[in-house]
Structure 1
């Protein structure tokens, strides 16, 4: 229905009559104008009129719902959105996303999760995909568990593939296998997923399956370069010299076109010791600029050059990497390693990974939970990288070095850590982790240290100047938690558990609750540490691991949380959505 309003105006002494069309578009324009002036009350009035003129237009309802949400009337906003879905246009899946935002602002996280999952599993366009991923992270923290999401419609298998890749990076190979196998049943021609399934089998030690899966890729796509490169690396690992040689003959003659294929072949040839071929490919990427001006690419080319004896060229490339990445110590470190190669002190090829050599070894060791092999402990390049990085690396690098020292544990390492905790210029948190590692590798004598600007001597018990005594039951709680968490949490996380326990006892002392069930307190500590480090965990999971009741874990975790203000600290790091 359309109405007209007659308006008089005087112009040059004459009277004109103007017809104003009073329709939905008219009120929409007035509403937008009011929003521009932050007059939300008027915008609501005009959007309501637009709805009256076109009640079957879902956009009008959504506009009104949006303004109501801005004004904090989340319930009315959701009522309108639900009306759109139930009575006007069920295909407007974005309404589920708007409702999820409203529920989140109302702190109704369960319903926010339900609405967000419905949006992601039904929306094909993916208009709010990035915003949804941020909300997923937020809701997961609030709910204390991952969201109940099985798929993302807009990504059609890419979500599951990305999740599987993340699981591989986290060392959760069995979970990755299950997800990839399910994905390939639905999308059998998804070759990237099949390649990653082969890697997952390989990491799990299921070598026959890994090779068979790669061959499945090659049956579907005989020229799949990623599969050929992976198969070559498998042959090297298994010692299949004849098959490796045949495949190498093919790869040596391969000249890929796309930049990502050039990069894959270059890194593979480097791993296989074909440094001359790797050098030519990396130089091609640098010359064409296809891979961008990344300092890591200059590093890869420099390593290949150094490994074929082109030391001057290698140094030039590392100097260029240094210019592109001025805050990094990595190029300068490798320039230093050239002297060892030039003088013949080391014949070991340099690592292609763009970080200090120990880091990749450390990641592998974390996944396998084994000590560092003797040949690596004695290798001059590896050992020098550790000690050099402890002195000159950034905070994250030093933290990784300290953890790696816990896997070596010899006299030289202990001396380096003792010296480190006495350096006033070093970070206090790093020094406390170093103390934890020294205790972990068997140091029992008092340790001189400089903490918070003061020189003091640390005894065997956890450090706390405000805690006058240390009881056996307190130690038992910590020992139980650390023993149960061992090999599932790294040393930094274990150190943080010790710190949290000492902080709690210090804050509540002398009114420490009576500890009757050691396992219940240990379980609560693990739960809180997992949450602090954003690891997926639930009360049921941790209660089962320690053989205690869920209520006990929840109660103890709440006491620790309240005393130490963990929720406030977490909220400061991960603020709520507006």
Structure 2
């Protein structure tokens, strides 16, 4: 009897399937959004929209999340589709679009949509915010003409230009961006992208001219200032890099995208302390960045001795891009085969990089490396003589010009004084070799090895904000403070 009852219960039991609706994913997205996991919330909102594409609230919340990560164009596409195709009775979309256009620098469009929101909702939830936005826009530009109706065309062109830049189609990107700045002369984002396109093409002068134009018409444009700093860094204009870095380090932006831009820029030029300040600040405030964000955070954290933060950030990099395995900040040149390291420097774009590669080659006994040195392409007499000296240094059978021997031994002096100092890196030696190249061009003697090395280290460490006094440097190199002062003047003059 019991057996029969059990069979009846089993037969009567129903399996209720778990149906994942759009509402289910929408709620998961809201939960992730409230926990500041923006990228996760976006994935859930997108899944909700796949299941229920006509639900305006899903689209609106996705647009809000996209604004949080700075994807203003995609956000506005979704908001536009709500207004035009799904539900015109969602006036808050006009305010969200106004806010997005303000971030993009399209102040005319921003003002127009803020006005449209206030017309429909004069006492709405965002009325006060919309009025504040209009006040800010009037401060930015007194004479607004809100009649422009070309935002769709601009969005399409801006997306096309971004894709061309990302895929390396630089000539096409330049052509399109020049058209955009002609049609939208106050759309500063297009100017900055045009400068980048020229820079990637190798036309640094033209790129710099465009940024100067932006800063003359829109002083304080943070993206233009950051791009200028990157250009100066790659041109090795160290004094100007130092000055602009100091200026940018005093800026405290409110917008998330500006903090991110500052952090990434500082990371790129090797100011890991400043990069860590802004990127870690964003992370602590709940910002959930992409692979690039965690890449820069990991490097900045590692080089400022925040090892645990660095490792956790690198895990996020590998989650999004497993191909990055093997390129963590702690997997530096010291852990790579010497041939790989030398190849990188010997084929550098600047003479100081190639000289540094030759200097590194002198520090290895690998016969293969020394053999390969005989086949590298050298670009100047100085490099050829330096290479010959490196190749024959142990034999001592040839005579070399004094400036070759002196230049090498000053680099070697820096090496011996700093080989146990973890804060010293290749930039110290590159700084000396850049000074050395200029000294040779001016036919200056560099025979006082200790003095030139001391002056170089003093200038380099202060440039890196590792404050050191001339007295400390003098003691380190067993010379007088007066000698350090004298040679610091020489070094500064050459760096100019």
TM-score bin, normalised by smaller chain: 0.3 to 0.5
Normalised by the size of structure 2, how large is the TM-score?
A: 0.36
- Bigger strand share: 1
- Choose 1 or 2 for highest CA Rg: 1
- Bigger helix share: 2
Normalised by the size of structure 1, how large is the TM-score?
A: 0.31
